[in-house]
């Protein structure tokens, strides 16, 4: 059985359409951890202040959960458990102040703690309240706070776990989730060299099993069953080859993202600025070298003690004045993902002590996404955008005018001229 699971994991890791390559190794996944944590801090702050409200729609929680639900297929539908169902009064954290505060306490404890004992203890505390409709779907929030402690949770993951282990875990109960979590930790310990300390990897494997992309190895030593299972694996491999063309188009998203960063890098240098490339993007191939070539290797003024420094280092492109070393402009490239993470990183920069020289913040995205961006900015969580004067820089305008700006431009005026001011209304 151990050998069969190892074979399964190896095949799954090589599958370009499986969650390992399409989600777990996705660069944006790592970037989103910080912004989701920041969003949950906002939820806690509003619950503590009594300003959270009595509905899911338009709440800070909706904004965070929506950003999780957009994390590729594995989290699709993650928001269903939090949608307010008035007739059923579930989940009962909107109109019941005591339950709402208990939910906020759970999030606050898990935001502040860093040990397995504290997280599990907080879960037992919320479970003891028996809040109607508030079950282990909350684990999807906790995963982004403690990815090495809490595995993600949904119907497909439960089905995959049951198929792989022969268990009979049921949805909707914290005690069932915690039992499954123990089993997942044991499985992950056995196959960690093929998976990761981050439980998102094994969660993705279970998701692909539960959603039917892969079938689990036979639990008993039946040679016929084993041959049928190996035939299924072979079929998935053939299916993956057919899907390669579709995935190639999706990968072009990442290529375009890098290309736009490269344009902004070269443009910044031409205008006489020092340039910072997002810390996790510097080694990406670009032209005949790497994206970070010729750029700063250390971001001046942002030490490990600086509040929000980790988030600011992940902003796609920063331009800095060469003499003062102050950040002058910030650019977030948003091709197809939610704008939530990029906005949060800009907030960390704009509200920090190092933003005195900041002249412009830009969302750089395809021309056709402007209406979508404006729609998302109507969310209450983005109410500060009007104050920050974030601008929308379309790909088309950047591509059309960047060469002329490189030759004849000075300062930020040319970039401001081809961009549009965004407001949250």
Region 255-275: what's the mean pLDDT?
92
- pLDDT of res. 229: 47
* Number of domains forming the structure of the chain: 2
What is the per-residue pLDDT for 50?
94
Q: Are residues 23 and 172 in the same domain?
A: yes
Q: Which of 235, 262, 281 is the last residue of a domain?
A: 235
Co-location of 174 and 283 in the same domain: no
Distance CA 93, CA 81 (A): 12
Task: Look at residue 323 and tell me if it is in a domain.
Answer: yes
Bridge partners of 375?
Answer: none
Find how far residue 34's CA is from the centre of its chain: 8
Residue at 215 is within a domain: yes
Could you tell me if 54 and 125 lie in one domain?
A: yes
Range of the domain at 382: 247-421
Whether 374 and 280 map to the same domain: the answer is yes
Are residues 229 and 251 both part of a single domain? no
Q: How far apart are CA 308 and CA 108, in angstroms?
A: 18
> Quick one: 217 and 335 in the same domain?
no
> What is the reported pLDDT for 28?
76
Residue 359 pLDDT greater than 90, yes or no: no
Question: Which of 352, 4, 336, 45 is CA-nearest to residue 164?
Answer: 4
**What angle separates helix 340-350 from helix 27-49, to the nearest 10 degrees?**
70
**To 5 degrees, how large is the angle CA 26–CA 30–CA 31?**
110
Do residue 290 and residue 386 come from a single domain? Answer: yes
The residue-averaged pLDDT of 321-347 equals 82
User: Does residue 170 share a domain with residue 48?
Assistant: yes
Position 53 in a domain: yes
**pLDDT, tens only, 195-249:** 999 999 999 999 999 998 888 888 666 666 556 545 655 555 555 555 555 555 5
Do 216 and 255 sit in the same domain of this protein?
A: no
Residue 240 lies in a domain: no
How does pLDDT run across 361-391, given as a tens digit for each residue?
999 988 887 877 777 777 766 666 667 778 8
Mean pLDDT calculated for residue range 57-61: 87
pLDDT above 70 coverage of the chain, percent: 84
Most confident listed range (106-115, 327-336, 355-364, 414-423): 106-115
On whether the CB atoms of residues 84 and 94 are closer than 8 A, the answer is yes
> Residue 235: its pLDDT value, please?
59
User: What is this structure's pTM?
Assistant: 0.73
For residue range 135-146, what is the model confidence (pLDDT) as tens digits? 999 999 999 999
Choose among 77, 76, 94: nearest CA to 85. 94
Mean pLDDT, the chain, as a whole number?
85
Gap between the Cα atoms of 142 and 110, Å rounded? 7
How many other CB atoms are there within 10 angstroms of residue 358's CB atom? 19
Which of 194, 209, 235 is the last residue in one of the domains? 235
Tell whether 289 and 354 lie within a shared domain. Answer: yes
Determine the average pLDDT of the residues in 54-74: 85
Q: Are residues 55 and 152 in the same domain?
A: yes
């Amino acid at each position: 059985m151990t050998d069969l699971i190892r074979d399964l994991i190896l095949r799954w890791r090589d599958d370009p359409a499986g969650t390992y390559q399409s989600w777990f190794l996705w660069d944006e996944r790592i970037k989103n951890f910080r912004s989701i944590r920041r969003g949950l801090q906002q939820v806690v702050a509003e619950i503590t202040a009594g300003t959270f409200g009595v509905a899911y729609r338009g709440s800070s929680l909706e904004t965070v959960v929506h950003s999780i639900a957009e994390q590729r297929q594995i989290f699709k539908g993650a928001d269903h458990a939090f949608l307010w169902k008035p007739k059923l009064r579930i989940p009962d954290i909107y109109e019941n102040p005591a339950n709402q505060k208990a939910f906020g306490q759970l999030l606050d404890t898990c935001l502040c703690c860093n040990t397995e004992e504290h997280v599990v203890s907080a879960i037992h505390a919320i479970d003891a309240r028996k809040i109607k409709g508030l079950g282990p779907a909350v684990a999807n929030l906790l995963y982004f706070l403690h990815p090495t402690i809490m595995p993600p949770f949904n119907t497909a993951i439960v089905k995959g776990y049951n198929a792989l282990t022969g268990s009979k875990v049921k949805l909707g109960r914290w005690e069932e989730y915690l039992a499954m979590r123990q089993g997942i930790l044991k499985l992950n310990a056995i196959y960690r060299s093929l998976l990761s300390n981050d439980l998102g990897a094994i969660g993705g494997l279970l998701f692909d099993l539960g959603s039917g992309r892969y079938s689990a190895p036979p639990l008993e030593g039946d040679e016929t069953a084993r041959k049928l299972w190996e035939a299924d694996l072979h079929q998935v491999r053939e299916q993956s080859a057919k899907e390669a063309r579709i995935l190639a188009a999706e990968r072009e998203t990442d290529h375009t993202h890098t290309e736009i960063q490269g344009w902004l890098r070269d443009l910044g240098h031409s205008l006489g600025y020092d340039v910072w490339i997002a810390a996790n993007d510097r080694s990406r191939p670009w032209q005949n070298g790497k994206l970070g070539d010729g750029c700063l290797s250390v971001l001046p003024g942002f030490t490990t003690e600086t509040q929000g420094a980790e988030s600011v280092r992940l902003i796609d492109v920063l331009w800095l004045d060469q003499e003062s070393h102050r950040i002058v402009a910030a650019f977030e490239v948003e091709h197809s993902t939610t704008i939530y993470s990029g906005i949060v990183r800009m907030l960390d920069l704009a509200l920090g002590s190092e933003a005195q020289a900041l002249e412009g913040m830009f969302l750089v995205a395809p021309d056709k996404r402007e209406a979508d961006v404006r729609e998302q900015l109507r969310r209450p969580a983005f109410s500060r955008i009007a104050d920050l004067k974030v601008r929308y820089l379309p790909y088309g305008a950047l591509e059309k005018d960047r060469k002329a700006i490189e030759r004849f431009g000075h300062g930020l005026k040319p970039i401001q001229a081809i961009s549009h001011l965004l407001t949250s209304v």
